[in-house]
Amino acid sequence: MEGEITGQIGTGLALLVGVTHDDQEADAVYLVEKISGLRIFDDEDGKMNLSVLDVGGSILSVSQFTLYGDTRKGKRPSYSQAAGGDKAEPLYNRFNDLLRAKGLTVETGRFGAEMDVELVNWGPVTFWVESPQK
């Protein structure tokens, strides 16, 4: 529905999540461990030393197949590396369930929908996190 808010968080991480043809559950498990433990929030001394779990933060997880848009040739991105919805949606949902199993509150958008995503980027601090198999 237009104007409907499907996910909203305060302190935490906004994740743009892309899935490729080669991704497996082991990749999701690795990424959940990595993301939930990344020490990227400031401690009392202003040093990036705390994880999203440490600060009691939440996750806004947004499916984003365009992350795997290949722009190396021509003017139109190729999305041949992005998994189709039949593979991507179950793995995306599993990823979110694994984050929840870590004790994190996870809000999402609507898979495959056109969405307006709004965020306040502290810092700005932005990281690209991939499974080591990539």
- List the Cα angle 128/130/23 in 5-degree steps: 140
Say whether 6 is catalytic.
no
Residue appearing with tokens 């998994």: 83
Catalytic residue, chosen from 20, 41, 64, 95, is 64
| Gap between the Cα atoms of 7 and 107, Å rounded | 5
Please state the length of the chain: 134
Catalytic residue, chosen from 20, 41, 65, 95, is 65
Say whether 81 is catalytic.
no
Say whether 64 is catalytic.
yes
Residues 7/15, Cβ–Cβ less than 8 Å: no
Catalytic residue, chosen from 6, 11, 24, 66, is 66
- Catalytic residue annotation: 64-66
